Structures are given as C-alpha cells and as structure tokens.
A and B are shown apart, each in its own frame.
Chain A
Amino acid sequence: MDKPLPTSLPTPRDWTSHSPYIHPDYRSTVLRGPKRPLLPIKAHMADLAAPVYGHEDLGELDHDLTRNARRNGEPLGERIIVAGRVLDERGRPVPDTLVEIWQANAAGRYVHKVDQHDAPLDPNFLGAGRCMTDSEGRYRFMTIKPGAYPWGNHHNAWRPNHIHLSLFGSTFASRLVTQLYFPGDPLLALDPIFLGTPEKARERLISKFTLDVTEPGFALGYEFNIVLRGLAATPMEK
C-alpha cells in the first residue's frame, strides 16, 4: 500500500496535553529530560513520511496476547479485550496504522530480563502484541489484564495496571508512545508518571469499561480511543 506524502503541515504538539520533560516526582526525568527549550523546525515533506509496513508484516496471532506465546497451555489471569479507534484531532479515523503494545503479566512481572520483581513469569505469556487499524481506524487486542508492580521511584511505589502503546499515525510527526490505564485504579492518584500529565488531559489515558466490547461468557472489554496529531487544513507551500 502506498502512503502518499502529506500535503499539509502536521498540527503542532499540544504541550498543554503532555507532561513536561522534567517532572521531579518521577525521579528518572531529572537527569534525562532535555532542559533547554525545544527549537522550532520547518520540516520538509520528505521528513514527514511515516514508516512503511503492511498487514502482511504481522503474524496471524500478533493481536492476541492470550495465544501468541503459548507453550503448554493458556496464560493465567483475567482475559480482557482492549479495543478502540485511532483518530486525528478533527475526529477523522487513522486507517491502516500500526498499534504496538507490551505489558506485564497478570502477576505484575515483565518478561524483560532486567525486571527483577519477585513475581512469577508465565510460560504461556510474552506480553507483546500488535495490530493495524482497519479502514475506520479501529483496532482490537485480546490480552490478560496486567498486574500492578512495585518500582524504585520512592518508598512503597507501585505502578498502576497499565499497557504500553506505540503508534506512528499518518506522518513522522504523529508518533506517539503512551500508556493505557484502567478505570477506578486507586494507584493512579499516587503514580508520578500518570500525574506528570496535565490534569485536564489525564482522563484521556484511562480506558473505559464497556459491555459493547465485552464478550459474553468470555472476557471483559475496555475501550481506549487514541487521538494523534493530524494534518492542518491549510495545504503546505510547495
């Protein structure tokens, strides 16, 4: 599938919706976030081309984390469905765009070798998946609800249940790496990563439980819509 180059400029990053780079409550930001102001850039169209990929790059079970790493049975934990739409800021669907996810298992343990949390790995669960949106921007994952886990940010720090997401969207500028949270999680009010986001935008990070996505007798469903930067209405100068 050909991805034509954008013909207008991307809408700007809305900094009132994003965390500052330095957010001292999240300690790792203090030495890692850039301290100088970002410089404006007038990008050329060729610099705005999104990466290319296609449905044929994905495995049949890539979207189903309950099946894509089975060895000798089903993964443990609560099966859930996470589904939603990828939209631009004007509410238009972003079709055929890649959605990549990764997460801890039901016990709050990551497969990653560096994760030393004393909780069991699940031989039948990797915790990585991906899919592409359809022509209406819809995506859908089957997975296991991730557990909370402790981390070293401060005394008795615990991350809320969350799923990591990575998206490209239609241009290089619409790149987004984020995390999806679950409604009613008491750890959200204590989590410096979540709280780094300006208050008015935090709710956008919390998925919604809905029977519309829930499958009777099988799995609870959570809806999570994702809004990426789009293209401005004004065509770009040649």
Chain B
Amino acid sequence: MTPGQTPSQTVGPFFAYGLTAEQYGYPFTSLFPPRVAEPRARGEHIRVTGRLFDGEGKTIPDAMVEIAHVDAEGRPVTSRDTAVASGFRGFGRCGTGTSADQSFEFHTIKPGVAAPGTAPHINVIVTMRGLLVHAFTRLYFEDEAAANAADPVLASVPAERRATLIAKRIALPEGVEYRFDIQMQGPNETVFFDL
C-alpha cells in the first residue's frame, strides 16, 4: 500500500519555459506543441481556438490547455511510432499567453467516432494559476447534431448546460475553425467532469 494519491497543486503562472517553451520562445524543446496534426495527417484539418474567462468575465492570460483525441478513423494513438508515421500526435498543449486576445490555438484533425453511438469529441484539460486541481472537460462539434443527440456523456449533462460543451464551427478562407470558449465560473460555467 502507498500513503495515497499525491495531492495536486496549481501549475502556477510560470509554467511556460518548461511545458510550452517553443510557443513562448524559450530555449527548450516542446514535447507536445499546439500543432497536433502535421499537414500530411489523414482527415479534415481544423483549428481549435478559444479563450478562458474567470468569474468576472475577464480573459485568462496564463492558462495552459491540453487536448487529446482519437484520429480521423476513431482510433487512439497508442505508440510514438504510429504518431510519427501518421503525422498525428493525438495530444497537444497551448498556453494562452502568446496571442493578443489570450486565445489558445491548436492545429489538428477532426476526430472520428471512437465507439458506436458516441459523438466525435476532444478531451480537454485546463490548468492555470488559481486552479489547485486541473479541470477536465470535453469539446463536441456544432455540426454533429445527430451524433451529439445520441452521445451518452452529453445526455448525462443537464440540457441547459450542454451548450457549454459545443464548439462553434466557423468557415474561414484558410479553413475550418472550431471556437470553444471556456467559462471557469458564472451563469454559463463550462461543464467540468470528475475524470
């Protein structure tokens, strides 16, 4: 037996030179850059962007967002060799401190369906100064209404809160972007899960 789970502590405000060094211009390599899929990866290439808001509606400039999802065929990436071969890494990180409006921005592919009866989604971990335990949520896609309606996890969320998990699709000349803002608190507080 062990003494029990090691307690979580906040990531603090100064994580960038360790965890997202290349994005912030520090001299250290990044193992998980915000580009999750290389241009050669199979699937529909998308951008996933958004901002985080605190309880007063202010944007949060020192958060780190991590995303994880299956490939375009719905398969998880289970080895580094697969990730290298396919150009799809399955996991990325982005801090909110390098863009003018405190957005995060990932380049990835739209995930496929991982299991019958579930909707395509992206797993999201949020961490920041002032968050003593990281928060876990999910991003679903606005243009997957039928699949979303059948998804058991979305169905478990009270109907009036489901919209906090749906990313808006924006078609831009340079490609499709999904916008996913995260509200830490307030009347539209994003649904966070106990994973």
Contact = CB atoms under 8 A, between A and B. Distances in A.
Q: Do A and B bind each other?
A: yes
B5 interface: yes
Contacts of B11: 164, 166, 177
Contacts of A111: 14, 17, 26
B47 to A, nearest CB: 20
A67 B130 CA distance: 32
B175 interface: no
Contacts of A141: none
B139 interface: no
A36 interface: yes
Interface in B50-104: 54-56, 58, 60, 62, 68, 70, 74-83, 89-91, 97
B39 interface: no
Given A32-B184, A41-B193, A126-B17, A20 B132 contact: yes
B62 A114 contact: yes
A120 interface: no
B115 A57 contact: no
A201 B2 CA distance: 12
B74 A172 contact: no
Given A31-B130, A177-B134, A227-B2, A46 B115 contact: yes
A135 interface: no
A46 B70 contact: yes
Interface string A47-90: 10101111011010000000001000000000000000001111
A39 B193 contact: yes
A34 B21 CA distance: 27
B18 A39 contact: no
A47 B5 contact: no
B132 A52 contact: no
Contacts of B13: 112, 114-115
Contact of A18 (B5, B16, B19, B91): B5
Contacts of A225: 2
Contact of B130 (A28, A100, A178): A28
Q: Is the interface of B mostly helix, strand, loop or mixed?
A: loop
A102 B17 contact: yes
A193 B132 CA distance: 8
A2 interface: yes
B194 A178 contact: no
Interface in A142-199: 164, 166, 172-173, 175-179, 193-194, 196-198
Nearest to B113: A46
A90 B3 CA distance: 10
Given A87-B2, A177-B9, A52 B14 contact: no
Interface string B158-186: 00000000000000000000000000110
Contacts of B152: 42
B14 A228 contact: no
Nearest to B183: A34
A205 B6 contact: yes
Contacts of B89: 51-52
A110 B11 CA distance: 14
B157 interface: yes
Contacts of A49: 68, 76-78, 90
A136 to B, nearest CB: 15
Nearest to A102: B18
Most buried by A among B5, B55, B68, B128: B5
Given A32-B54, A164-B12, A176-B6, A39 B76 contact: no
B44 interface: no
A139 to B, nearest CB: 13
Given A21-B132, A26-B132, A193-B10, 17 more contacts: A12-B194, A31-B185, A34-B190, A47-B68, A51-B32, A52-B91, A69-B27, A89-B5, A90-B1, A90-B2, A102-B18, A126-B28, A128-B17, A164-B18, A196-B132, A201-B4, A227-B5
8 contacts: A26-B132, A45-B76, A46-B114, A59-B29, A114-B62, A114-B97, A164-B18, A172-B68
